[in-house]
Amino acid sequence: MTVAAHARIRTLRTDLLILGAGGAGLFAALHAHAANPALDITIAVKGLLGKCGCTRMVQGGYNVALAPGDSVERHFMDTIEGGKWLPDQDLAWTLVTGAIERIHELENELGCFFDRNPDGTIHQKAFAGQTFDRTVHKGDLTGIEIMNRLAEQVWARGIGRLEEHRALDFVATAGNEGGLAGVLLVDIRNGEYLFVQAKAVLLATGGGPTMYKYHTPSGDKSCDGLAMALRFGLPLRDMEMVQFHPTGLLAGPHTRMTGTVLEEGLRGAGGYLLTGDGERFMDRYDPRAERATRDIVSRAIDTEMRAGRTTPNGGVYLSMGHLGADNVRRQFKGMVERCADCGFDLAGGRVEVVPTAHYMMGGVEFAPDCTTAISGLFVAGEDSGGVHGANRLGGNGVANSTVFGGIAGDEIAAWIAKEGAWREPDAAALEEALVRAEAPLSGRRGDPLQLGSIRERLYDAMWDDAGIVRDGVRLARALQTLESLAGELSNVGVPDGERSFNLTWHDALNLANLIAVSRVIVHAATARENSRGAHYRSDFPADGDLAASTFIRVRQRDGRLAAEAVPVRFTRVAPGGRLHAR
């Protein structure tokens, strides 16, 4: 097959192509439009704009230093110490300072209503791992408020959108320029290919560790952007740092509700964790008990589970009843309703929970202005790496996507004005991307029903061998399993009949990307021979010398992965030193 011979490839030209319509993608669109209303902007999104991705799922809220007594320095130090000295300090500083501007923008320009104190100031609640109550929220459904207002503003400006379009691969420029010409996409509605030629591209597909048996992110996310970046030669960092949220709902194996998150505010408000026998256990692991950071609580639950002190479905209980059922119902309306839908009484009784893969601290290496190693390719949100280091504080995720999304929009508009130009795609690169996408449809003999089994084995391998507690033996086993799953997947064929909403085909593409990114996670976890934050190795339990901290960078070259340890630059504060804000 050649590209020329492929009848269904269409082309489109735009100034700025944004991949993903979460907090990062939509903020970038609004800022780029504000900077230059004449800019032609196109948002391509796998789902429906405003209805997909994880920003909509944000429950707990948004960290920002607003209240008297709090400060950006304090928010910064919580982020650095929570991240176990691995965050890039300039990125973390940009996050905490930018969050103030962004929260005012969300309220005053976009029209978000956040909860208030009786005196009219914004209510800020406690979140684990922070030294100040700084989490702004709208009840426990904060993301819906943010996404609805963002989507309305994007619609109001008539910004171009390609909904139910899946980005497949970046396409390099013709010749040996080493730049980016555009992106190959497929229209999920009819199976047709579309090459979008763009002066600049923003990657904002939101990562999402959906390769684990229990996970929280939205079903549209399969690490596509990270896999695309990897194939395009971009360096990824901190990929071993996968955050497990301690309290995913455990409603049995046959419901998609299992793994969905019960927010941290429940523990912040005083909820207890109990073994299957009803014993409170967190104070055996940390003096902060249930308010300890996510990594510590997840590990403690994992230990209780492995020791067999479990509930009927194999997890532990979250108990809120002692706080008063009416109080819990009032404070956590959304959570109470969600649990009731699954037959649990959160307000007055106990709910079964299990740690669940929630967030990837790792992603594409980038600078505070959202540039990457490839000119014209920018990144923001959960696809980027380096802001959080070894641990993301609850409430710093949506701040990350909205702060850096806005910055990306500003910077890209300025960049396009200075040096943006349409560049011709390399025909061989375009064809390679097309062949990869077509592969499952191209007459392979493997039964498509195998996809379910491959997914289940991927879930188990990542959960058992590259999950909350790791060691060299398990990681080697995980790598072996991933190699064999990749081999099996490359034989599975999907009937090339109906291409419209052919979800089996997309399942195969999703799995290919998930396996590719899982290999990076395992490589990075193998390379880090110490335990920091979300990454815990029972064969290397010490955290190592903080002053000599390194982050792990993984790249793919000629199909092979290579990991290297890169020293962290302490540009604002060194372990044990004093912060100097510049």
Ligand X SMILES: Cc1cc2nc3c(=O)[nH]c(=O)nc-3n(C[C@H](O)[C@H](O)[C@H](O)COP(=O)(O)OP(=O)(O)OC[C@H]3O[C@@H](n4cnc5c(N)ncnc54)[C@H](O)[C@@H]3O)c2cc1C
| Residues belonging to the active site | 245, 267
Residue nearest to ligand X (CB): 22
Near ligand X by CB under 6 A: residue from 54, 451, 462, 568 = 54
3-state helix, strand, coil in the chain (%, to 5): 35, 20, 40
144 burial class (0-12, 13-18, 19+ CB within 10 angstroms)?
Answer: middle
* Site pattern 324..363 for ligand X (x: CB under 6 A): -----------------------------------x----
- Binders of ligand X among residues 232 to 271 (CB under 6 A) are 261
CB-nearer residue toward ligand X: 399 or 451: 399
At 425, is the secondary structure helix, strand, or coil? strand
Is 511 among the residues that bind ligand X (CB under 6 A)?
no
Judged by CB under 6 A, which stretch of 44-52, 85-93, 473-481, 489-497 contacts ligand X? Answer: 44-52
Amino acid identity, residue 87?
P
Find all residues with CB under 8 Å of 119, minimum gap 6, and list them: none
CB-nearer residue toward ligand X: 374 or 475: 374
Is 19 among the residues that bind ligand X (CB under 6 A)?
yes
Count of CB atoms within 10 A of residue 341's CB? Answer: 12
Is 221 among the residues that bind ligand X (CB under 6 A)?
yes
- Quote the least distance from Cβ 486 to ligand X, whole Å: 19
Is 79 among the residues that bind ligand X (CB under 6 A)?
no
Judged by CB under 6 A, which stretch of 93-101, 310-318, 362-370, 390-398 contacts ligand X? Answer: 390-398
Q: CA-to-CA distance for 570 and 574, rounded, in angstroms?
A: 5
Measured CA distances, 474 to 467, 531, 532 (Å): 10, 15, 18
Q: CA-to-CA distance for 244 and 168, rounded, in angstroms?
A: 28
CB-nearer residue toward ligand X: 46 or 470: 46
- Quote the least distance from Cβ 217 to ligand X, whole Å: 5
Is 44 among the residues that bind ligand X (CB under 6 A)?
yes
CB-nearer residue toward ligand X: 198 or 478: 198
Is 220 among the residues that bind ligand X (CB under 6 A)?
yes
Is 23 among the residues that bind ligand X (CB under 6 A)?
yes
- Binders of ligand X among residues 172 to 191 (CB under 6 A) are none
Near ligand X by CB under 6 A: residue from 22, 87, 235, 315 = 22
Contact 17, 196 (CB under 8 A): yes
How is 323-376 classified by DSSP, letter by letter?
A: G-HHHHHHHTHHHHHHHHHTT--TTTSEEEEEEEEEEE--EEE--TT-B-SSTT
- Quote the least distance from Cβ 150 to ligand X, whole Å: 10
Judged by CB under 6 A, which stretch of 22-30, 286-294, 329-337, 484-492 contacts ligand X? Answer: 22-30
Size of the site for ligand X (CB under 6 A): 41
Is 398 among the residues that bind ligand X (CB under 6 A)?
yes
- Quote the least distance from Cβ 386 to ligand X, whole Å: 14
Contact 20, 218 (CB under 8 A): no
- Quote the least distance from Cβ 272 to ligand X, whole Å: 21
Is 204 among the residues that bind ligand X (CB under 6 A)?
yes
Q: CA-to-CA distance for 456 and 540, rounded, in angstroms?
A: 29
CB-nearer residue toward ligand X: 437 or 479: 437
Contact 92, 573 (CB under 8 A): no
> If you search the block for the tokens 């910077």, which residue do you land on?
411
Contact 462, 212 (CB under 8 A): yes
Is 389 among the residues that bind ligand X (CB under 6 A)?
no
Contact 35, 413 (CB under 8 A): yes
Give backbone dihedrals phi and psi of 86, rounded to 5 degrees, phi first.
Answer: -95, -15
CB-nearer residue toward ligand X: 150 or 521: 150
449 burial class (0-12, 13-18, 19+ CB within 10 angstroms)?
Answer: exposed
Query: Helices 450-465 and 472-489, interaxial angle, to 10°?
Result: 170
Near ligand X by CB under 6 A: residue from 18, 31, 32, 47 = 47
Contact 32, 407 (CB under 8 A): no
H helices of 12-125, in order, are: 23-35, 72-82, 89-104
Judged by CB under 6 A, which stretch of 59-67, 318-326, 411-419, 497-505 contacts ligand X? Answer: 59-67
- Binders of ligand X among residues 365 to 384 (CB under 6 A) are 381-382
Near ligand X by CB under 6 A: residue from 18, 61, 172, 465 = 61
Q: Which residues bind ligand X (CB under 6 A)?
A: 19-25, 44-47, 52-55, 57-61, 166-167, 204-206, 216-217, 220-221, 224, 261, 359, 381-382, 394-399, 401
